[in-house]
Structure 1
């Protein structure tokens, strides 16, 4: 089976790191490159963190490209209160041996989409959609060449995690999200409604640590830091592991379920800025533009995640 070609667009973030690890451990996927965007922490840190994670995985062959350092039209909002000052608090960090590429992330994505056969590259945004929206605006000719966009972002029944109605990735750059959801490209959306069902319980983190390899131990250390915020906030055993759901969907979509819906992005209201308005019950008559995932077999997800990271 030919591996699916993907570009991971990310703002690491411990859960972003988990997604990168899962992708690099999975023969079903070919990671063409990792592009960084400002989000959980500023761009200088997200770009460095992406390089750190690939090096921890023993994959310094994976190039990292720095992209947008701010949203399209707004001041950057970050999430150090969740991820720590570095974005990857919980482990000892270092300067990656491989330097960042000199090509801008947006240019890399455009050039890759033009070079690879049409319909063969999937974009996997794990943070704010600034890089992806900039690609669409700068090079509209590549839009029809994208196989699919599988993203982590938004929420509906679950509400928001940065405001009562908005999920962080969409809230940071709602204008970018509006552009992406309006392209007509096939989109799969992993909202809080599904990611809040994959909890890093103590038993699951201990299983991961028991793998004993460097990536598993590093990820277990990161998760023990990362989950403390959500455990206090939600009163759960462990916190949601958001971003790896994107990668797990590409490997085994049978773990998940959902339905095609219309999704609109709120950009005008101070009260609900960044809300993803999901027409789950199809009451508006608007055209479906995304497959919205709502449920997951959490045990199967963690079986996959733990086993794969143990291969690295």
Structure 2
């Protein structure tokens, strides 16, 4: 009998984010896909203040049965610009509002790690890289996925230049043409253009999942029906609220019938890059213009004399993307403490009767 194949090694991943409704789903996908090992989470001001998004990350992880994943608060403002561009008009005052306003998830019972985000990120990444090297991994790089402003990532690369050879950075951000919070600017890059420029010019192995791809990951009625295929539960009810929260905003502002789910697309690239069509391009970040700070200038036709620096995702297999996301949501549903609390309450009520 032929020996059975060894199970594939899980990819080591660190997620830098600003939850945010779509970041919440990215956390669940990173924490509940069997191909990934989520080392930790760092937060940065963006969709809301760093205090609020850090609290949101803790709430999401606790609700999804991932309270063991460490969280560290990162940058409260861009590298050079005086204040962050917050996005309360999209994500609400808490950054993770429910349909009636206010936080949709209960508070977590645990807090964030002490210390500085770049230090915590480096320590976790370096330790994971060393384990991969010791285990004889063909590629010992750790995946650093950024679904927010790139401030923390830029600081990490500046403080620890040796990390360039330890990581592969994947960002949800940028666009090839029309932006979302600016005419040609995508929000995550626009929030801290100088940090983005540092990352794009650092020499790190880099992949970009732009708006042109994430705007195809639409939360349709059929997607919601698939999410609800499990036994109805408090967790799935909250997930439905999260997935649909900014549907009205996207219909009004961006003329989109169904809202897109941006950030999990970057996690999906790490899990299954075969779902994407890509081009290796030169990408520069505009930092000087008063009209388009944060524009990602993608050299589609190879006219730049500068070296190519970024794998740009151009298309995504949307059906298979949703398979990954929905499987992760259902896995989280199976271990969510929110469901366990309801079950205990029902058992107590039955005992009383």
Scaled to the shorter chain, the TM-score interval is over 0.9
Matches within 5 A, 1:125-274: 125-146=146-167, 148-157=168-177, 159-211=178-230, 212-274=232-294
Cα deviation, residue 205, structure 1 = 1.8
How far, CA to CA, are the matches of 2:93 and 2:225 in structure 1?
25
Distance 2:236 2:274 in 1: 25
Cα drift, residue 199 of structure 1: 0.8
Aligned to 1:111: 123
Residues 214 and 249 of structure 1, relative CA distance in 2, 3 Å threshold: farther
Taking structure 2 as the reference length, the TM-score comes to 0.85
State the distance in 2 between where 1:172 and 1:60 align: 29
Deviation at 1:64, TM superposition (A): 0.6
Question: Structure 1 residues 304, 260: closer, same or farther in 2, change over 3 A?
Answer: same
* 1:297 matches 2:309: no
Q: Is the Cα–Cα contact under 8 Å of residues 105 and 238 in structure 2 kept in the other structure?
A: no
| Contact 1:66–1:105 (CA under 8 A) maintained in structure 2 | yes
Return 8-17 or 224-233, whichever deviates more: 224-233
- The aligned counterpart of 2:87 is 79
Match of 1:60 among 67, 85, 90: 67
Aligned to 2:30: 23
Distance 1:64 1:295 in 2: 32
| Offset at residue 198 of structure 1 (A) | 1.0
The farther-off stretch of 205-214 and 283-292 is 205-214
Choose 72-81 or 223-232, whichever is displaced more: 223-232
**What secondary structure is seen at the aligned counterpart in 2 of 1:17?**
helix
Mark the runs of 5 or more structure 1 residues left unpaired by the alignment.
Answer: none
Measure how far apart 1:87 and its partner are.
0.9
Classify the secondary structure of the residue corresponding to 1:210.
Answer: coil
Residue 32 of structure 2 is aligned to residue 11 of structure 1: no
Report Cα offsets for 1:188-222 as digits up to 9, x if no partner: 10000100111111221232133345543322111
Where does residue 39 of structure 1 map in the other structure? 46
Take 1:95 and 1:310, find their aligned partners in 2: how far apart are those partners?
A: 21
User: The residue matched to 2:145 in structure 1 has which SS?
Assistant: strand
How many residue pairs align between the two structures? 310
Q: Determine if contact 1:256/1:297 at 8 Å carries over to the other structure.
A: yes
Give the aligned partner of residue 76 of structure 2.
69
Does structure 1 residue 98 correspond to structure 2 residue 110?
yes
List aligned pairs for 1:276-295, cutoff 5 A.
276-295=296-315
Q: Is the 8 A contact 2:141 2:165 kept in 1?
A: no
SS at match of 1:189: strand
* Contact map agreement 1:40 1:79 (CA 8 A) in 2: yes
Unaligned runs of at least 5 residues, structure 2: 1-7, 131-139, 333-353
Q: Which one has the largest radius of gyration?
A: 2
Tell me the CA shift for residue 303 of structure 1: 2.1
TM-score in terms of structure 1 length: 0.95
Runs of 4+ in structure 1 over 4 Å off: none
User: Which segment drifts farther, 164-173 or 109-118?
Assistant: 109-118
